[in-house]
Structure 1
Amino acid sequence: MSTTPPYQVTDPATGEVIETFPFATDAEVEEAMERSKKAYAAWRSTPIEERSAIVKRAADLFTERAAELGKIIRTEMGKKASSGAGEAEFSGEITAYYADHGPELLAETDLPGHEGKAVIQRLPLGPVLGVMPWNYPYYQVARFAAPNLVAGNTVILKHAENCPRSSAAIAKIFEEAGLPDGVYQNIYATHEQIATMIADPRVRAVSLTGSERAGTAVAEAAGRNLKKVVLELGGSDPYIILDSDDIDEAAETAWATRMENVGQVCNGNKRMIVNEGVYDDFVASLTKRAAAMKPLEGEDGDDTVYSPLVARKAAEALRAQIEDAVSKGATLHAGGEISDGPDAFFAPAVLTGVTPQMRAYTEELFGPVAVVYKVSTDEEAVELANTVEYGLGGAVFSTDEARAIAVAQQLEVGMANVNTPAGEGADVPFGGTKRSGFGRELGPLGIDEFLNKRLFYVER
């Protein structure tokens, strides 16, 4: 049995442990895999229209219970209750998208040149395992589970150890929507038990959203056992501002983007790369906004208050990255402070003068820190953007759209955006390249990952 702490709810605003949940026993893990296997035999044979109707009911429940769901994750990972409710509503939209469009996305297609004889069928694989993170407790699960359930796969879900209540709430939604027993299961598994499940032949594929370290472990286990895997890992996305006719508005957009989920976003704008012509005014505008931020009191607040990070340990780790940069010559313009504890509040910060000798240059800063770089040419911006080993997303802004497009085309990322922080929607694919992982979620590509794309050929 694992020696790590059990699944538990620890309020990041106070450091108080509210509730603990025991790890699953090995017998319970075995039972979950066997139930998933047995449920798959019937679920895959259920007409897709019936599968979609059940998933659509789950989508409605996400929306109906949004306020309640938001309060749950406020105490689990610190998100404002209104933000948590918004996340639950978006999860409903994602789930509804796959319920509505699943039949057409999974339809057979003729192989060109062989009409009437050769088709590509899109069939389920079997039980699939999802290992999900804490930063978006509902959204991350919805984008994994919804397409797989519509496709006819069965789902075993291992959530983050600090999300036992929200993961149970999701399982309850799918149960009340009408999923048959064993089609969706929430299990409080240990890391060792995850390895056991990946190795078991009853589990046919695995999807992980999380850290590089976790991704490496899961990919290694999946490769050893010849299992399909999707990985959505870290990011240090470039956010390039080539010019602007309203630098204060540009700074407001950049700051709001960086403060989303208190900076705990894989595809957040962690590296702001700004042309020297607007750099000074941009940094000054960001600094003004950072200095005006106040810590959240209670469950909710407006855009001038910030939530705690997920845990005290996360705040301390982020502070260490900032201290390393400052000790080597970087300038901290605002923020960066943490309290004496045990809460996890971290004052939003603006950092400039980061060089390759500093941890902040190559490491992901998973929190409310705006790191700003000055460049003099578009070529320099592209070189700096591509210098890190991450390749999740990126954005380029300019009053000259053609210029922004030319720069964005050169970004080594899975998602390139022009004049917007990110293209978003249930139908917009999400995923990266390089050390940000591989595979895609959301949109038509999201349902395509865990399928048997079978050739069916009839000689006529």
Structure 2
Amino acid sequence: MSIESTNPATGDVVDSFEATSDEEREARLERATETFSEWSETPIETRQRLLARAADVLRENTDEYAELMTEEMGKPIGQARDEVAKCAWVCDYYAQNAAQHLQDEVIAGDENARTVVAYQPLGPVLAIMPWNFPFWQVFRFAAPNLAAGNVGLLKHASNVPGCARAIEDVFDRAGFPDGAFTSLLIDSSEIDAVIEDDRIRAVTITGSDAAGRAVAETAGSQLKKSVLELGGSDPFVVLEDAPMEETVETAVQARLINNGQSCIAAKRFVVVDDVYDEFVDRFIDEMAAQTVGDPMDDATDLGPQARPDLMDDLHEQVAETVEQGGELELGGEPMDRDGAYYPPTVITDVPENAPADREELFGPVASLFRVPDEAAAIEKANDTRFGLGASVWTEDLERGERVARQFESGLAFVNELVKSDPRLPFGGVKDSGYGRELAEHGITEFVNTKTIWVQQDAGEETDMIE
């Protein structure tokens, strides 16, 4: 079977690839298992050195990888270059810090015993990854897990097969052993069979909450560890003392980054009454000023949606919200041009329980809510089944931190858009999933946290500090 990738800006076929056959899938699983036996015993210094080399490969081929991402899923080319740089950063981070994160932890216990916590790799880990950040979301899984001594198998989204193959090639060029990181070009219907395979020891997914539930159910039935990074409907809370110029500028960026297709994009803008009208007027003007066009053009702010069917789903959510009483202030119709283009769109007076209130709108659509005060803003921010990120805007930083602590989210930012950073744990709560990626927390998700007790003779004094 052949898999085609299609340029969403033009509708042209970018490339075609042969799907992984059942026989080839079996061979790749077996090779990954054999490689794990070797890789898990490889000194961590060697693993770190190879990760640093992977970072070099990424930087040396930035334009190639950025253009591939833009061709396959439509992100603006400047953002694609930034994505490659961020992938190199996460490789550098674990190349520098993995050994420290995974060093044995000596813990005081019985006075006649030496008690240690060791962090040991689990084995082959399956990663099910989405199309919206086709390099970054793979590398934020791969870098810590390869550093920890696991091996990775990637089931990437079907519309970015070229990215899947290119990422596999990055690790090959960097000198990783064959089987350390393997791409499986398989259909979603084959995922359960891979998860259920005894050689797979854990699974992680970044995707919709529906997909996460299905993966978690299968993994749970096999008693296999899972990490779920799922959808979000992040609130962007604007208080009456917000620095308005900076707030509006960042609000537009937070909504439209990656053509609006980001789990941690600001989607629900919750604004207190005192500054609501000013914010709305400025926000609409800034959204309307964004340049929609060819994602290969550096001047473009907003490119196409990744697939025509995704644009159709988004428009259906917008139309239903308006039909229920939402006020369309800007945009709201697919653009009359080639490609899957949807314009910057703003909806006010969003009715309770309308799609723009309750669902994740995965595209350049902003939902605005007027609230009387801070307490109501927090209540509205938390009035969602999602809990990935949230931000609050205020001149009073102590107030901002107090509000941030009240958000029901895995990430909370004050006077900054929600973003991921290799140095900080990333993940959500509620229907946005569980588990953490990145930082020390991420590298210890898929390891055996093993307690080791070494009993000493009763008369022998144990140095618990050493």
Fold-level similarity (TM above 0.5):
yes
Kindly indicate whether residue 71 of structure 2 is the aligned counterpart of residue 75 of structure 1.
yes
CA distance in structure 1 between the aligned counterparts of 2:3 and 2:446, rounded to whole angstroms? 28
Contact 1:237-1:268 within 8 A present in 2 as well: yes
CA distance in 1 between partners of 2:243 and 2:169 (Å)? 48
What are the superposed Cα offsets for residues 178-223 of structure 1, whole Å, 9 maximum, x if unpaired?
1111111111012232211100110000010011121111111101
Find the aligned partners of 2:42 and 2:5 in 1 and give their Cα distance. 37
Q: Unaligned stretches of 5+ in structure 2? A: 457-466
- Distance in 1, Cα, partners of 2:386 & 2:351: 17
1:180 aligns with 2:177: yes
For residue 8 of structure 1, report the CA deviation from its aligned partner.
2.0
**Letter aligned with residue 222 of structure 2:** N
CA contact under 8 A between 2:74 and 2:295: conserved in structure 1? no
In structure 2, the residue matched to 1:164 is 161
Q: Which moved more, 1:199-208 or 1:78-87?
A: 78-87
Q: CA deviation at 1:339?
A: 3.0
The answer to whether structure 1 residue 130 and structure 2 residue 127 are counterparts is: yes
Partners of 1:242 and 1:404 within 8 A in 2: no
Q: CA deviation at 1:297?
A: 2.8
Looking at structure 1, the residues matched to 59 and 87 of structure 2 have their Cα atoms a distance apart, in angstroms, of: 8
Distance 1:245 1:417 in 2: 14
Cα drift, residue 422 of structure 1: 2.5
The alpha carbon displacement at 1:317 in A equals: 1.1
Q: Which amino acid aligns with 1:238?
A: P
Q: How does 1:80-119 map to 2 (within 5 A)?
A: 80-114=76-110, 117-119=114-116
Looking at structure 2, the residues matched to 261 and 138 of structure 1 have their Cα atoms a distance apart, in angstroms, of 13
Which of 191, 195, 201 does residue 204 from structure 1 map onto? 201
Q: Which residue of 212, 218, 226 corresponds with 1:229?
A: 226
2:461 paired with 1:435: no
Aligned to 1:293: 290
Using the alignment, how far apart are the partners of 1:418 and 1:298 within structure 2?
A: 31
Q: Which residue of 2 aligns with 1:420?
A: 416
Q: What SS does the corresponding residue of 2:369 show, helix, strand or coil?
A: strand
Which has the larger displacement, 81-90 or 398-407? Answer: 398-407
Q: Verify the 8 A CA contact 2:243 2:393 in the aligned structure 1.
A: no
| Distance in 2 of aligned mates of 1:114 and 1:79 | 57
Note the residue ranges of structure 1 that are not aligned, 5 or more in a row.
none
Matched with 1:32 is 28
Identical-residue share of aligned pairs (%): 41
Indicate yes or no: 2:406 matched with 1:410: yes
Counterpart mapping for 1:215-226 below 5 A: 215-226=212-223
Q: Which amino acid aligns with 2:127?
A: G
Residues 1:261 and 1:114: Cα distance change in structure 2 (over 3 Å): farther
**Distance (Å, rounded) in 2 between the aligned partners of 1:406 and 1:301:** 39
Report the secondary structure of 1:19's partner residue.
Answer: strand
Asked whether 1:42 is paired with 2:16, we answer no
The 3-state SS of whatever aligns with 1:266 is: coil
Q: 1: distance between equivalents of 2:366 and 2:315?
A: 13
| Contact 1:231–1:439, Cα closer than 8 Å, also in 2 | yes
Aligned in 2, Cα 1:212/1:148: closer, same or farther, shift over 3 Å? same
1:330 and 1:352 in contact (8 A); partners too: yes
Q: Which moved more, 1:276-285 or 1:417-426?
A: 417-426
In structure 2, which of residues 353, 363, 370 is the aligned counterpart of residue 367 of structure 1?
363
Q: Is residue 288 of structure 2 the alignment partner of residue 309 of structure 1?
A: no
* Alignment check: 8 A CA contact 1:337 1:347 kept: yes
Counterpart contact for 1:48–1:150, Cα < 8 Å: yes
Q: Provide Cα deviations, 1:276-319, integer angstroms capped at 9, x if missing partner.
A: 1111011101111222233213612336x311110111111111
Amino acid at match of 1:251: V
Matches within 5 A, 1:250-329: 250-297=247-294, 299-302=296-299, 305-329=301-325
**Match in the other structure for 1:335:** 331
Q: How far apart are the structure 2 equivalents of 1:280 and 1:254? A: 15
SS of the counterpart of 2:117?
A: strand
The CA deviation string for residues 405-435 of structure 1, in whole angstroms up to 9 with x for no partner, is 2221111111111221225421111100000
Q: CA deviation at 1:126?
A: 0.5
Q: How does 1:140-159 map to 2 (within 5 A)?
A: 140-159=137-156
Alpha-carbon distance between aligned partners in 2 of 1:329 and 1:169, rounded to the nearest angstrom: 46
- Is the Cα contact below 8 Å between 1:385 and 1:411 reproduced in 2? yes
Q: Distance in 1 between matches of 2:155 and 2:255?
A: 28
Aligned counterpart, 1:240: 237
Q: Secondary structure at the match of 1:308?
A: coil
Distance of 1:298 and 1:111 partners within structure 2:
53
Letter in 2 for 1:194: I
Shift of 1:404: 1.8
Supply the AA of the counterpart residue of 1:286.
Answer: F
Give the whole-Å Cα distance in 1 for the aligned partners of 2:205 and 2:285. Answer: 38
Aligned length: 455
Q: Hey, what's the Cα distance between the residues in 2 that align with 1:216 and 1:23?
A: 26
Report if the CA contact (8 A) 1:248-1:282 is conserved: no
The 2-side partners of 1:292 and 1:24 are apart by 45
In the other structure, the counterpart of 2:347 is 351
What is the aligned-residue RMSD (CA, Å)? 1.5
Structure 1 Cα separation of the partners of residues 243 and 175 of structure 2: 52
User: CA contact under 8 A between 1:154 and 1:183: conserved in structure 2?
Assistant: yes
1:245 positional shift: 5.5
The answer to which of 396-405 and 39-48 deviates more is 396-405
Contact 1:52–1:100 (Cα < 8 Å) also in 2: yes
Shift of 1:244: 3.4
SS state at 2:266 partner: coil
TM-score (norm 2): 0.95
Question: In the alignment, is the contact (CA less than 8 A) between 1:315 and 1:346 conserved in 2?
Answer: yes
Cα displacement (A) at 1:122: 0.3
| Alpha carbons of structure 1 residues 402 and 308: separation in structure 2 relative to 1, 3 Å | same
